[in-house]
Structure 1
Amino acid sequence: MICLEVYPWILDFEFSSVDGFGRLFVALLSGFITGSLYLAAGKNARAFWLGTDQIRSKLPIISCGWFAQALFYANYVLLGFTTLLWINPFAEILINKNISGSKGTQTTRFGGKKRQRLVGNIGMAEADFIQFRLWCLWLSGMLQILALRANLQTFLNEAVLSWYQRLHASMVPEMEYSRAKVFLHNHYLCVAVLQFFAPAALMLLSLGLSLVDDGLFENFQGVCGILPCSAFVKEVAIFMAWWVSFLWFVFTSTYLAFYRRGILYIS
């Protein structure tokens, strides 16, 4: 639905060379990425919840330092801000159409009705805004890589918290569950590394593909005979970079809302 119908109204993407089979490919790839990031975002939300001590345990054995907590908050806030930069109502506010080289006064279709753009007197030039949001996307991916060590430590601390809770829950502590929890967290550490690293890697890889030179794919005639390679790769790659950041933010925010409401809890 997003790739075929919704994006011209809400999302600020150019899909001029993506049609027919190309849009079907983008839709299937987007769905595959959505399913792949669902469980990984759960680990990311638990790491944020525990790393920033939202459970108010104040246990020194599982506490994170101020630098790690600053990384958690900065990563989450920048990810949400970067996601909004490709959504039209928010993006329009940051583009000053009175600057030479901008779009100028236009009308746009939203919800089936044409409306006059009421914003455009503040912000930056369109070319500067395009570069700005690419830099934000790059910085968001780099912050996720920098937070990888803190996320992994929090992943291990989650097992320690379970052990501590079982130890002090009753006069006769049930330690078998805690031993299994600690064992599983250490056993699946490599999987956790991949799940924390994959979103940032996908974002940076897609962003890099969107910035390659136009002539890079001209020698691949077999593929370029089917799809307009350079334009197709650039337009789809920037959309995929944004799509990963969007999913990562939405899934993480949903999990955090469940933790806040008490629907989910860390044990």
Structure 2
Amino acid sequence: MAVSDLLPLPFPVPPYAPQVAASLALAAAAHFLHLPSLLLYATLASRPHFAGFHLSLLLPLALLPPALLLPPSQPSPLAPLLPLAFLFVALLRQVALASPPRPAHLAASLAALLAATVLSSSPFAGSVASLAALPAWRFARAFWLGTDQPRTGLAVLASSAPARLLLHLAVLVSSAASILQCCGFVDGPELEAKLLAAAAGLQLLASRAAVQMYLNEAVFCWYQRLHANRAPDTEYGRAKVFLHNHHLCAAATQFVAPPLLVLSLLALWWVQGKDFFEGVQGLDWLVGWSVAMKEAALLAARWVVAVWSAVTVGTLVGYKRGWLFVL
């Protein structure tokens, strides 16, 4: 059956037009999703910390959609706890493996822990939110280079227009969600959950550009040393490239873990409630525990986004004012 039979058009449609349109659409989707890059999987799997990065993406993708899309009576109300626990441990391990820990990293993490705990009156929210400080600092470095703030003009540091748009939207939406919630403009937990999910989704989409900028950071550091010294420091450049390639999967985990942690917390908030345990003989005592978990999950998700946006914006201000440098 021809296309003109299904959709009458005032002009004739060539028989090969749908095939051409579908081919162009698939080519565009494959290009923007970077599907050809999946052929580099045998390369990435051999790098350190790849298993942690792989599981950080695999567990939420496998467990969260069924918990959110299926009716409340079918999925397990504890399904989001597995990716939540794994992402928490993965971030905690990444913070512990930061060697040597810079004073700025420790100060940001301790300040985030103290602020989130005091302001939210929840040690759980404070401990979870403090883990977003180091990934946010690394994302700010990627944003600084990905949007060419140093004005180097290097072709290798140039990002595509969609990548720059995602980097800006990730910072703007996360900051807006935190500011609106802090000022009391968000009416109801459902709207807040949607804003937090949008912020986390944009952070996740911008993670690929951030990973690319993490690799390009070594080139930028080499470029700085090249113009700072009369004799180029080639050994420094080689060491930077080696370290960035060696820690690629660890850095990628830091980029994807905070937004996935927020989505896991929001999934836990979404599936928890009285519908699972109310009226079930022998499990009535879980009703109060489930409601408390629901509120704690939303509170922690709120503070993860708040700490991520605060550290990101603060780091960008430090770069803009010349207080911090990418070395």
TM-score by length of 2: 0.59
**How many aligned positions are there?**
212
Residue 246 of structure 1, aligned match among 303, 306, 310: 306
1:248 partner amino acid: W
Distance 1:220 1:258 in 2: 57
- Tell me the residue number matched to 1:265: 325
Code of the residue aligned with 1:261 in structure 2: it is R
The letter of the residue matching 1:151 is A
Inter-partner Cα distance in structure 2 for 1:259 and 1:5: 28
1:203–1:244 CA contact under 8 A, matched in 2: yes
Aligned match for 2:267, one of 208, 211, 229: 208
- CA RMSD between the two structures: 2.6
4+ runs deviating over 3 angstroms: 1-7, 167-171, 215-222, 224-227
Instruction: Tell me which residue corresponds to 1:172.
Output: 231
Q: Which has the larger share of helix?
A: 2
Matched-pair contact (CA < 8 Å) for 2:163–2:209: yes
Structure 1 counterpart SS, 2:155: coil
Q: Which residue of 2 aligns with 1:151?
A: 210
Q: Deviations over 1:77-124 (max 9, x none)?
A: 10011112322x342xx6xxxxxxxxxxxxxxxxxxxxxxxxxxxxxx
Structure 1 unaligned residues grouped into runs of 5+: 8-22, 95-125
* Contact preservation (8 Å) 1:159, 1:178: yes
Distance verdict in 2 for CA 1:188–1:79, change over 3 Å: same
- TM-score (normalizing by structure 1): 0.71
Of 272, 290, 293, 1:233 maps to: 293
1:254 partner amino acid: G
* Mapped partners of 1:77, 1:220: distance in 2: 48
* Partner Cα distance (2:216, 2:160) in 1: 13
CA deviation string 1:171-196 (max 9, x = no partner): 42111111111111111111111110
Give the share of equivalent positions with the same residue, in percent: 37
Query: Do the aligned residues in 2 keep the contact of 1:47 with 1:154 (CA within 8 Å)?
Result: yes
Rate the CA distance shift 1:245–1:3 in 2: closer, same or farther, 3 A.
closer
One-letter amino acid of the structure 1 residue matched with residue 231 of structure 2: V
Distance of 2:246 and 2:319 partners within structure 1 = 25
Structure-2 residue corresponding to 1:84: 179
Query: For the structure 1 residues 131 and 33, does the alpha-carbon distance in structure 2 shift closer, same or farther, using more than 3 Å as the test?
Result: closer
Specify every segment of 5 or more residues in structure 2 that has no aligned partner in the other structure, as ranges.
Answer: 1-113
